[in-house]
Amino acid sequence: MKLLIDFFPIILFFVAYKLYGIYVATIIAIMASLTQVAWLRWRHGRFEKMPLIMLALITAFGGLTLLLRDPIFVMWKPTIVNWLFAAAFLGGSLIGHRPLVERMMGQAISLPAAIWQRLNWAWVFFFLFSGLVNLFVVYIGSGFYVAEQALIAATGITAIDLNSCAEQFVGQQLDLCETAHASEAVWVNFKLFGMMGMTILFVIGQAFYLARYIQESEPNASAATPAPSAATSGDIR
């Protein structure tokens, strides 16, 4: 259930984009994030930090996209989110007695201090890498930025709804608009499937790495630590 709530805004964003384009999808994502925060407040009787941060970011970057009619701002959001996570995990490793990942998962599993530090650094580098990959897809991999700039140069219009190219342009300008729209769709697909896939692969690799340490400490861990919490892994992203 928690996993569904965590992915609620991005799933609605993806569906709305396929039906109505990026501007409607951005509005839906903001409303979904607001609904998520309100539901969690009602369910647990308190506001949770992570959904509030996500709401603030989608409202800020999504608001810029809607105000300036430029998708590039909402495309930057995953990078900012990942880099904020990287900063949090880095700060947790440098400040305090325990790294952040140990504070999140320490009640579920028992590991040597050195392994917690390695795990924390692994998450730092993963979040940094994920943010860079998102920018690569936006500016190079999908071809969106180049296609958008070519369309702007050809039309002289900066605020363009790529979901209605045929209603606005003809000829070469129509071709440029459709190319930009197709490139935009590549990023949207990456945002859902690519970033989710990267996270799943990283977590699987982490599980294989940790397996031997968990098995070695299992007799002590079972006596010293409670059962894993359902919220442990869901709070990472």
Mean pLDDT throughout 159-174? 94
Number of domains in the chain: 2
* Integer Cα distance of 219 and 231 in angstroms: 24
Note whether 2 and 14 are same-domain residues: yes
Note whether 102 and 118 are same-domain residues: yes
Mean pLDDT throughout 80-89? 95
231 versus 33: the higher-pLDDT residue is 33
Count of alpha carbons within 13 angstroms of residue 18, beta-carbon side: 7
Give the model's pLDDT for residue 94.
Answer: 82
Smallest CA-to-CA distance from 136 within 61, 179, 187 is with 187
> What count of residues does the chain have?
237
Note whether 120 and 209 are same-domain residues: yes
221 versus 136: the higher-pLDDT residue is 136
Segments forming the whole domain that contains residue 30: 1-68
Give the model's pLDDT for residue 44.
Answer: 85
75-86 as b/e: b if 16+ CB within 10 A? bbbbbebbbebb
* pTM for this prediction: 0.85
| Residue 206 reports pLDDT greater than 50 | yes
Note whether 225 and 129 are same-domain residues: yes
Mean pLDDT throughout 57-70? 96
| Residue 215 reports pLDDT greater than 70 | no
| Residue 14 reports pLDDT greater than 70 | yes
* Integer Cα distance of 120 and 39 in angstroms: 30
